[in-house]
Amino acid sequence: MIAAECPSVHAAFAASASRWPDRDLLMVLPETAEVYGITAENIQYRMVAKRVDTIAASLLAAGYGAGHRVMVLLENRPAFFIWFLALNKIGASIVPVNPDLRSTELNYMIGHAEPALAVSTPNRVDELSDAAQAAGVNMPVVTLDDVPPAPRDGAHLAQGNGLKAEAAMLYTSGTTGQPKGCVLPNEYFLMAGRWYAEAGGLCALSADGERMITPLPIFHMNAMAYSLMSMIAVGGCLTVLDRFHPRTWWQSVRDSGATCLHYLGVMPSMLMGLPESAQDKNHTVKFGFGAGVDPKLHVSFEERFGFPLVEAWAMTETGAGAVICANDLPRRVGESCLGKPGPELEVRIVDDAGQDTAGAPGELLVRHAGNDPKRGFFAEYYKNPEATAEAWAGGWFHTGDIVRQDTDGAMFFVDRKKNVIRRSGENIAAVEVESVLMRHPAIRHAAVAAVPDPVRGDEVFACLVVDAPTAALADEITRWCLTQLAYYKAPGYIAFVEELPLTATQKIQRGQLKTMAAELLGKPGTHDLRHLKKRNAA
């Protein structure tokens, strides 16, 4: 387990490496190795430690150290975790990059974070270099095989020491047009690993050699904070796939020897769509940990595959400072139940006026119990004190999620208050997509809303005002968006409309827009462009 006095992510890893040097920490399956052109291998704790030390020494020799931010674009390669540990060892902060981001998004991210260095796969070096130049940041970009150059002059340094030192900055979408940089200190990651290791109940982990498999993006907090840190805490092994492959998933699970797995709601839906097999229960999985399983499939999935899907709630901002998990009996399966808040968490459910709802659905407000209500949470939105203060208005973190709570304390997810589209686990700010659409020469006005998708949760629906609407134009607009945005942000549906629902001050009436999109879905004039939304579509 991670000791209470442990000061950093690397210190926690070093303690586990000393205790379990010959255990596997990372496993690379042959299918993942083939995708990335890397070696299929089991990487023991001692091997990871050696690689971490080599990278850390190289960085120190080049002049990197405490407070430097390093942007890392390595997809789901195990090298990402090794760089995370190496940067943490020298007191630097990692800035993970979603590999699906395109030039406009990279320009913003680099200009905002102002990294001292970027580490990238070879095929993205030129793109990152061009984005840095466009952002006015003289950031060197290297590959895993390069010797890092000296840090650029004037690189901004992250603040804090020990537990409060910045370990990472993750970008998360919100209701504003640009993503926010969530500053995550060492304490954030240590608490997440400790929470998972001690959660018990249906998702109990032992120190006897757990093996976890996840296809989720490792540049998100789920894999970085919960998957990696929990395995470090109990001396376990983490197998990361390049992405979720439904048809080979169960073979990957068996090959990894997984005792637990992480999922998002899209995964159970896809797996239940596969033909039943005598091998459905041929695995060693004790539980799945995740969120968003379709309530209609929850019971049947567990009966078919033989293990519980444990639903949980957390946010990038909350970490383990505020996490709710349905890991205890009795269970409320198939009801979108998040479980009951533990004693370490204080919650309120409020209406739009900030008053407690007395049992009715409302926005979830959270804080850590005790003297430090922000313990385990993000430190701040970087360069955005106004947004940080707004999120913590009244001493409570405002989640933007609508929930309800039963008299027994069980909480149930209802909807999202924030204007965020959540597609296959990715948060998409409608305003960001709208701002890109408005740059297209044929579009006079644009508004984006979420519509339900049976597999991905939400899909992006764009209502557009143009002069000459045609099916060819709809196709061209989505293809153009795929060159400007990550593929999942592009419109999956486009409907050409005569006007948008606007307020007297010309702001989009989001409620009416959502209703309009729902009514237009499936109508003859709506163009279904979901088939274009593929990785590397451009």
Identify which of 235, 228, 238, 282 has the alpha carbon closest to the alpha carbon of residue 260.
Answer: 238
**Exposed / middle / buried, residue 41 (Cβ in 10 Å: 0-12, 13-18, 19+):** middle
Label residue 98 left, alpha or beta by phi (over 0 means left) and psi (-120 to 50 means alpha): beta
> Phi/psi of residue 162, each to 5°?
55, -130
Structure tokens at 388: 């940080």
> Phi/psi of residue 169, each to 5°?
-130, 115
Q: Determine how many CB atoms are found less than 10 A away from the CB of residue 371.
A: 6
Q: What residues form DSSP beta bridges with 237?
A: 211
What's residue 507's pLDDT?
73
Q: Secondary structure of the chain: what % helix, strand, coil (to 5)? A: 35, 25, 40
What's residue 359's pLDDT?
85
- For the chain, which residues score pLDDT lower than 70? 173-177, 503-506, 536-538
Amino acid at residue number 320: A
Q: Are 305 and 280 in contact (CB under 8 A)?
A: yes
Identify which of 190, 141, 152, 151 has the alpha carbon closest to the alpha carbon of residue 16.
Answer: 190
User: What number of residues does the chain have?
Assistant: 538
Rounded to whole angstroms, the Cα distance separating 48 from 26 reads 8
**What own/partner pairs with CB < 8 Å and gap ≥ 24 does 122-127 have?**
124/73, 124/99, 127/103
Q: What residues form DSSP beta bridges with 166?
A: 185
Within 13 A of 453's CA, how many CA atoms are on the CB side?
Answer: 24
Q: Could you report the per-residue pLDDT of 42-63, keeping only the tens digit for each?
A: 999 999 999 999 999 999 999 9
Identify which of 424, 237, 230, 206 has the alpha carbon closest to the alpha carbon of residue 320.
Answer: 230
Task: Give residues with Cβ within 8 angstroms of 307, minimum separation 6.
Answer: 285, 286, 287, 288
Label residue 257 left, alpha or beta by phi (over 0 means left) and psi (-120 to 50 means alpha): left
Amino acid at residue number 329: L
Structural domains of the chain in order of their starting residue, each with its CATH number: 9-401 (3.40.50.12780), 421-532 (3.30.300.30)
Rounded to whole angstroms, the Cα distance separating 202 from 322 reads 19
Within 13 A of 482's CA, how many CA atoms are on the CB side?
Answer: 18
Structure tokens at 116: 């001292």
Q: Could you report the per-residue pLDDT of 283-294, keeping only the tens digit for each?
A: 999 999 999 888
Rounded to whole angstroms, the Cα distance separating 361 from 363 reads 7
What's residue 503's pLDDT?
64
What's residue 177's pLDDT?
58
What's residue 538's pLDDT?
47
Structure tokens at 384: 């955005």
Which strands form 93-96's sheet, in the order they lie side by side?
141-142, 117-120, 69-73, 93-96, 166-172, 180-185, 380-381
Q: Are 67 and 88 in contact (CB under 8 A)?
A: no
Identify which of 211, 533, 199, 175 has the alpha carbon closest to the alpha carbon of residue 387.
Answer: 175
Q: Could you report the per-residue pLDDT of 490-516, keeping only the tens digit for each?
A: 999 999 999 999 865 567 888 889 999
Structure tokens at 50: 């050696």
Estimate the crossing angle of helix 9-19 against helix 45-62, to 10 degrees.
140
Q: Are 68 and 155 in contact (CB under 8 A)?
A: yes
Amino acid at residue number 322: A
Q: What residues form DSSP beta bridges with 311?
A: 290
Rounded to whole angstroms, the Cα distance separating 458 from 436 reads 20
What's residue 430's pLDDT?
84
Amino acid at residue number 445: H
Identify which of 167, 208, 160, 219 has the alpha carbon closest to the alpha carbon of residue 191.
Answer: 167
What's residue 119's pLDDT?
98
Structure tokens at 468: 């000459």
Structure tokens at 158: 């992250």
Q: Are 412 and 335 in contact (CB under 8 A)?
A: yes
